[in-house]
Amino acid sequence: MNKNDLVASVASDSGLSKADSTKAVDAVLDAITSSLKGGTEVRLVGFGTFSVSRRQATTGRNPRTGETIQIAASNQPKFKAGKGLKDAVN
């Protein structure tokens, strides 16, 4: 399912127009993104938790040349599925 499919599903389930559904989906995604940028995790009870994890700088190796390279530190978004989502899938 891509974003257009999600918008269509929200529109049909909620009775909203596709334009309103697009605005709603975009608003939810923007809210999650801005919270993660600010360092706040997002917990949706029964669905899951979005959080940010800090990945330390490390050295790696270019597999083609064998040359060692530095991999910069970065922040990585993570998602941990909640019990309700796990139960629904299984």
State pLDDT tens for residues 28-44.
Answer: 999 999 999 999 999 99
Q: What is the CATH number of the domain that holds 76?
A: 4.10.520.10
Give the pLDDT confidence of 55-78 residue by residue, as tens digits: 999 999 999 999 999 999 999 999
Across the range 12-28, mean pLDDT stands at 95
Rounded-to-integer distance, Cα 78 and Cα 50, Å: 6
Alpha-carbon 85 to chain mean position: 15
Residues 7 and 30 placed together within one structural domain of the fold: yes
Q: Quote the pLDDT of residue 23.
A: 96
What mean pLDDT is predicted for residues 10-25? 94
**How high does pLDDT run on average in the chain?**
95
Residue 43: what are its φ and ψ, rounded to 5°?
-110, 120
Domain range for residue 45?
41-90
Percent of the chain with pLDDT over 70: 100
Give dist(CA 11, CA 22) in Å, integer: 8
Which residues are 66's β-sheet partners? none
